[in-house]
Amino acid sequence: MMESGAHFCNSCGEQVGVDANGEVFVACHECYFPICKACFEYEVNEGRKVCLRCATPYADRAKDNDDTKAYGNQSTMAAQINVSQDVGLHARHVSTVSTVDSELNDESGNPIWKNRVESWKEKDKKNKKKKSAPKTENEASVPQEQQMEEIQSSEAAAAEPLSTIVPIPKTRITPYRIVIVVRLIILGLFFHYRVTNPVDSAFGLWLTSIICEIWFAFSWVLDQFPKWSPINRDTFIDRLSARYERPGEPSQLAAVDFFVSTVDPLKEPPLITANTVLSILAVDYPVDKVSCYVSDDGAAMLTFESLVETADFARKWIPFCKKFAIEPRAPEFYFSQKIDYLKDKVQPSFVKERRAMKRDYEEFKVRINALVAKAQKTPDEGWTMQDGTSWPGNNSRDHPGMIQVFLGHSGAHDIEGNELPRLVYVSREKRPGYQHHKKAGAENALVRVSAVLTNAPFILNLDCDHYVNNSKAVREAMCFLMDPVLGRELCYVQFPQRFDGIDRSDRYANRNTVFFDVNMKGLDGIQGPVYVGTGCVFNRQALYGYSPPSMPKLPKSSSCCCCPSKKQTKDVSELYRDAKREELDAAIFNLREIDNYDEYERSMLISQMSFEKTFGLSTVFIESTLMESGGLPESADPSMLIKEAIHVISCGYEEKTAWGKEIGWIYGSVTEDILTGFKMQCRGWRSVYCMPLRPAFKGSAPINLSDRLHQVLRWALGSVEIFFSRHCPLWYGFAGGRLRWLQRLAYINTIVYPFTSLPLIAYCTLPAICLLTGKFIIPTLSNLASALFLGLFLSIIITSVLELRWSGVTIEALWRNEQFWVIGGVSAHLFAVFQGFLKMLAGVDTNFTVTAKAAEDTEFGELYIIKWTTLLIPPTTLIVINIVGVVAGFSDALNGGYESWGPLFGKVFFAFWVIFHLYPFLKGLMGRQNRTPTVVILWSVLLASVFSLVWVKINPFISRADSSSISQTCISIDC
């Protein structure tokens, strides 16, 4: 059994061991290359007195214990690996690459690849000596004082952080935490009172209410405690430029590949996609570091032709944006701004050029709209391209892969002769009988294509309707990802979603302000925000399934030695696999550091290490995964890259690989975003939430009621699918111990919240039942009970107020969020639960239509559109029966006299609570001119009537004795 802190020599495969001082042996103090003392002495005796990795000469060391002490000042090997990461040590871990001992090691424990590597080193030895000689001369020619000054200045610049954490002031967060604890105590006392004081006259109603209230309390805990330590962050873009963009030198900023995904151009208008692409191409970032990949998963010729027009217009738009530093850089949204566009503009030619650009954009819109009008009716013979050939994607379900590079390295320049970013059209191959995995499959295809063509170390994915609103957004993300300390631990940087075109009152909580400004800040203080599907900058290595460089140690098992548990066995097996992965990584590093080696031998070595089982059968792509800093392999043939890119998007490429299982976007749920982020953080990665003052990205939301409910239904169904999958946070990822407990609570909350619909719809029905039957779920209140109820309500109010205080969210946003939680809970979430059960038990899958992204010409015109959907029936039924219950309750009180008004107050209070929460739904149901679908009213009234009649005839909450006594006393009806 090996311990978690054990590491192995990269020459012989044995443990590194310790020196005479008890410290881990270190040979090279520059890169901390793991090598045992025996191998080090052998290298020195053979005359090789330079480090195998960094070629730094070994210092003069005796073999006695005293001299060894100078190199044993690192306490653990984990610390050595942390330091060595800064100089390029690839201590990454592939979670799915498995190697067989007999393939890698011989009987004595020495790796087979050692001989090959040694032979390549011998070939390369003379070249390295020739290179090191002039380097020494140059270093000697520089005065020592000047060297020291340069080193000190560079160290001072490196010491400046690119970002900082701004904690919430204690005067705001401490009272918030105290109230949370107090509310938890009050909840315990409240449930003790409720359970010990049953309502015998309405036992069924009382029991139902108790179950619902317990679930609500559980949901509150899941939602509240991950917000225990919220934080804010500030970035320093000027420091980023000073460090990586020095005058007179090429920019050292990391390259970024942008992903834009679209499916149906008739529901996702090409003009909106074009604006997104234009905002990306005009971003404030070095043009040679930006590449935009547009995924057309519908293989529509309309999308292709609109990108042709977009690429042509970009030659004019990009220099205009950068010359005058305009914001935002999406033309549709820039020209529609109702602000003084002359503010801060001092160039005399600005007005003239702006008018000319606006005229050009209007002509561009006319051309795009003409393409859309032409595409409304598909020709019988299919679409034909300009050269007369048939469009390959005429059958969207059966077509080859298509790639077209429009801008960038193809030689295109803007009107001023400057280089343009790369723009690539991608439509992956689709064939009948293959599972394509919708958006997640499209994103994984883009990962492979971009790795073959550009291989930027970072990936930013956007929906087709989310444009870049802040041209410096990429620089904001780089302040985290390129930070020497923080960046090594980050799998992604998530930006909040902001929206245009929403009505001022945000009737259906489209902005989701509470989630993005409260919950996500809380998660940022733990292990990082969840991935929300768009506006996210990924570390490509994290998408490949690697673990972070300084992975947390696995916890020791607490079981006794005589009775080992399954968990202990699993931990040991993971340690064993981790050790093998370190050997594999070391072999890969040695292979890459050697200049002269045989190409055939290299391909054989890659094949031997079974990378194909993980990443697929593409040597070019596999080599790109080994390049942590991005860029194309030197062996890549530019003339063959497009052919290789077509190969990696073939529909059968992912078969028998780890795509969608351990690497890339994870399959198995329509909400692949939650699942993908969850898998990364289970490996030990953390994420960061970036909220610049100017929103980084903005999108358009489906603001009408029907589309909004379908959107919520899709999210809820994805959560239910994850709940029933092997990736459920309730049981997945415990063995590694790399996911923090509060973070796990947050993920559990994201997958169990749809089940709240069951107690919610029951609780919303209880007030109507109480009013119709004259019963109540709460007995006569004592002084203690009144104090508990009052304390509970006050704690709820104070918690909300303090939450608003530290987050900056408005009361209206909080109230809208509360309202739509009820609306979505009794409709979309309820349907998601039943559809999830159907899919699990009967295998019935649900197909979702893409939400329309365009609105009517009038402002907020889409808000008043009502589309028939079964999701409208449950909330309408609840409104009707509660209104009927209120009317019946007041009628009974009028007939019952003065004493009936006291008990009526509590019942009516809960009924009005339901009605007020469903008020936005009722208002949306009426539309602009009360154009409610007749079928919705008929179904709702029918269900409410049937329910009321059945309730009067069969009252399960009144005992037989009570019913007989009532029948004797109620001989006549008092009218």
267 belongs to an annotated ligand binding site:
yes
Choosing from 578, 585, 673, 707, the catalytic residue is 673
- In which region does residue 32 sit, left (phi positive, over 0), alpha (psi from -120 to 50) or beta (all else)? left
439 belongs to an annotated ligand binding site:
yes
For residues 770-779, give the mean pLDDT.
81
Residue 646: the pLDDT is 92
* Residue 728 in this model has a pLDDT that exceeds 60: yes
Domain ranges of the chain: 1-59, 172-230+735-954, 251-488+658-671
Confidence of residue 147 (pLDDT cuts 50, 70, 90): low
Using CA atoms, how far residue 546 sits from 494, 712, 748, in Å, is: 19, 32, 24
**Segment among 92-106, 388-402, 831-845 with least mean pLDDT:** 92-106
Q: What is the pLDDT of residues 255-281, one digit of tens each?
A: 999 999 998 888 889 999 999 999 999
Q: Which residues contact 866 (CB under 8 A, 6 or more apart)?
A: 704, 705, 706, 924, 925, 927, 931, 932, 933
Q: For residue 759, with 0-12 CB atoms within 10 Å meaning exposed, 13-18 middle and 19 or more buried, which class applies?
A: buried
Query: How far apart are the C-alpha atoms of 917 and 753, rounded to whole Å?
Result: 18
Residue of higher predicted confidence among 778 and 135: 778
Query: How far apart are the C-alpha atoms of 502 and 336, rounded to whole Å?
Result: 15
Query: How far apart are the C-alpha atoms of 231 and 518, rounded to whole Å?
Result: 10
Query: What DSSP character marks residue 538?
Result: E
Catalytic status, residue 297: yes
610 belongs to an annotated ligand binding site:
no
**Segment among 25-39, 159-173, 374-388, 634-648 with least mean pLDDT:** 25-39
* Residue 652 in this model has a pLDDT that exceeds 80: yes
Choosing from 264, 297, 524, 578, the catalytic residue is 297
Query: How far apart are the C-alpha atoms of 731 and 708, rounded to whole Å?
Result: 32
Partnered with residue 700 across adjacent β-strands are: 500
496 and 695 Cβ atoms separated by less than 8 Å? yes
* Residue 974 in this model has a pLDDT that exceeds 50: no
Convert 587-629 into a string of H (helix), E (strand) and C (coil): HHHHHHHCCCCCHHHHHHHHHHCCCHHHHCCCHHHHHHHCCCC
Exposure letters 147-160 (e unless 16+ CB within 10 A, then b): eeeeeeeeeeeeee
For residues 60-88, give the mean pLDDT.
35
In single-letter form, the type of residue at position 845 comes to D
506 belongs to an annotated ligand binding site:
no
- For residue 293, the SS3 value is strand
268 belongs to an annotated ligand binding site:
yes
pTM summary value = 0.76
Query: What DSSP character marks residue 660?
Result: T
| Cα 326 from chain centroid (whole Å) | 29
Nearest C-alpha neighbor of 521 from the set 805, 808, 746, 227:
227
In single-letter form, the type of residue at position 259 comes to F
Task: Name the residue with tokens 């009426």.
Answer: 926
Greatest alpha-carbon pair distance for the chain in Å reads 116
Query: How far apart are the C-alpha atoms of 464 and 4, rounded to whole Å?
Result: 45
Query: How far apart are the C-alpha atoms of 29 and 80, rounded to whole Å?
Result: 9
Convert 12-81 into a string of H (helix), E (strand) and C (coil): CCCECCECCCCCECCCCCCCCCCCCHHHHHHHHHCCCCECCCCCCECCCCCCCHHHHHHHCCCCCHHHHH
Confidence of residue 313 (pLDDT cuts 50, 70, 90): very high
Residue 521: the pLDDT is 92
* Neighbouring C-beta atoms of residue 667, cutoff 10 Å: 19
- For residue 434, the SS3 value is coil
Confidence of residue 125 (pLDDT cuts 50, 70, 90): low
201 belongs to an annotated ligand binding site:
no
Q: What is the pLDDT of residues 409-464, one digit of tens each?
A: 656 777 888 888 999 999 999 999 888 888 999 999 999 999 999 999 999 999 98
Segments in 738-862 forming alpha helices (H)? 741-752, 757-773, 783-807, 811-825, 828-842
Residue 76: the pLDDT is 30
Q: Which residues contact 952 (CB under 8 A, 6 or more apart)?
A: 772
Nearest C-alpha neighbor of 872 from the set 700, 701, 712, 702:
712
Task: Name the residue with tokens 């919610």.
Answer: 760
Residue 862: the pLDDT is 59
The average confidence (pLDDT) of the chain is: 76
For residues 581-595, give the mean pLDDT.
48
- For residue 509, the SS3 value is coil
Exposure letters 867-905 (e unless 16+ CB within 10 A, then b): eebebbbbbbbbbbbbbbbbebbeebbeeeeeeeeebbe
Q: Which CATH code fits 1-59?
A: 3.30.40.10
Give 83-149 as a DSSP string: HHHTTT----EESS----HHHHB-TTS-BTHHHHHHHHHHHHHHHHHHHHHHHHHHHHHS-HHHHHH
Task: Name the residue with tokens 């960038």.
Answer: 408
Residue 467: the pLDDT is 93
125 belongs to an annotated ligand binding site:
no
Query: How far apart are the C-alpha atoms of 610 and 616, rounded to whole Å?
Result: 10
* Residue 760 in this model has a pLDDT that exceeds 80: yes
Give the β-pairing of 536-539 and 490-494: antiparallel
Catalytic status, residue 380: no
Query: How far apart are the C-alpha atoms of 381 and 395, rounded to whole Å?
Result: 11
